[in-house]
Amino acid sequence: MQNREFNLVASDGTFLIGRFWKPNGYPRAVICLIHGIGEHSGRYHYWAGRFCSAGFMVYSVDLRGHGLSEGKRGHIDRLSNYLDDINSLVRRVKHNWEELPLFIYGHSMGGNLVLNFLIRKRQDFSGAIVTSPWLKLVHPPSPFVVKLAASLDKVFPKLTFHTGIKSSQLTSDSTEQNESDKDSLMHGFISLRLFNELNKSAQEPMERSSRLSIPVFFAHGTNDEITDFETTRKLAEKLSESATFYAAPDARHEIHREPVADNLFENISNWMEYALKDIEHAI
């Protein structure tokens, strides 16, 4: 497996750092992976390696304000900033590997972004994988706090506060918890503007689900204390035949770092295999 960093410039000139993982042989397909809030693409090294072992290439990028990319930690001016970052990544991949099937994969905040990207930007993918998406928080702020945040946003959009997310909420694995706590590229901040943008965009996939026309694989841990399991399940049911839903038993937020990770990978890879067979049959 090859693993390299690359530079990427978003449409507004923001300098981004990306990574790719390439299997030793010629890849069968490519996955664009979008990380969650406060993390970065490098955290998916092991998980990307699993896909490489199955012949899939993985590309990812540190979204602005994350990892090694430019930008204020945990802040954006508008949701379209993140969507443009994702589009820059997708364009790079399509330019380099235009002959290969392409999947898009988003976790947590990245799941929210991927669904909104599909609704607002483009759906020329073989399928989408969405895990533990931020569609509804398990412990959302009160309506009063949400209104206050919207009001203060007009004056102090860059005001940041801590997300309050603990590594013990991410995974039950103590080794993984320690790695997250020691990761210097991780941050726990979110600005008023970013919270308001994500809070609004979280409602879009359910309200505009009819616009999602490609196959989507959803996965959510039944013990997730951060994003709501039932909301993800309901969206999958609403999409009916175009969606697959995997309930990860007893798993916390980062399913790919839980004991159930092997089973999750098997389900995702099998789903991708079916998607590729459908493409080959259509050709």
Domain ranges of the chain: 2-282
CA distance 163 to 227: 13
Query: What DSSP assignment string belongs to 18-48?
Result: EEEEE-SS--SEEEEEE--TT--GGGGHHHH
CATH number corresponding to 2-282: 3.40.50.1820
For the chain, give the mean pLDDT: 95
User: Tell me, what's the pLDDT at 280?
Assistant: 59
Q: Is the pLDDT of residue 132 over 70?
A: yes
User: Tell me, what's the pLDDT at 241?
Assistant: 85
| Other CB atoms within 10 A of residue 52 CB | 22
Q: Is the pLDDT of residue 272 over 80?
A: yes
Q: Is the pLDDT of residue 145 over 90?
A: no
Q: What would the pLDDT profile of 147-200 be if each residue is shown by its tens digit?
A: 988 899 989 999 999 999 999 999 999 999 999 999 999 999 999 999 999 999
Q: Is the pLDDT of residue 282 over 60?
A: no
Burial zone of 158 (CB within 10 Å; 0-12 exposed, 13-18 middle, 19+ buried) = middle
Confidence grade of residue 279 (pLDDT, cut at 50, 70, 90): low
> β-strands 160-162, 189-191: how paired?
antiparallel
CA distance 176 to 168: 9
> What global pTM score does this model have?
0.96
How many C-alpha atoms does 219 have within 13 Å on its Cβ side?
27
Q: Secondary structure of the chain: what % helix, strand, coil (to 5)? A: 45, 20, 35
Q: Is the pLDDT of residue 15 over 60?
A: yes
User: Tell me, what's the pLDDT at 244?
Assistant: 97
User: Tell me, what's the pLDDT at 223?
Assistant: 98
Provide, rounded to the nearest whole percent, the portion of the chain with pLDDT above 70. 98
Question: How much is the CA Rg of the chain, to the nearest whole Å?
Answer: 18
Q: What would the pLDDT profile of 76-89 be if each residue is shown by its tens digit?
A: 999 999 999 999 99
Q: What would the pLDDT profile of 29-65 be if each residue is shown by its tens digit?
A: 999 999 999 999 999 999 999 999 999 999 999 999 9
User: Tell me, what's the pLDDT at 240?
Assistant: 85
Alpha helices in the chain (DSSP H): 45-53, 79-96, 109-120, 143-153, 167-170, 174-182, 192-201, 204-207, 229-239, 261-282
Under the phi-then-psi rule, with left for phi > 0, alpha for psi from -120 to 50, and beta for the rest, what region is 13?
Answer: left
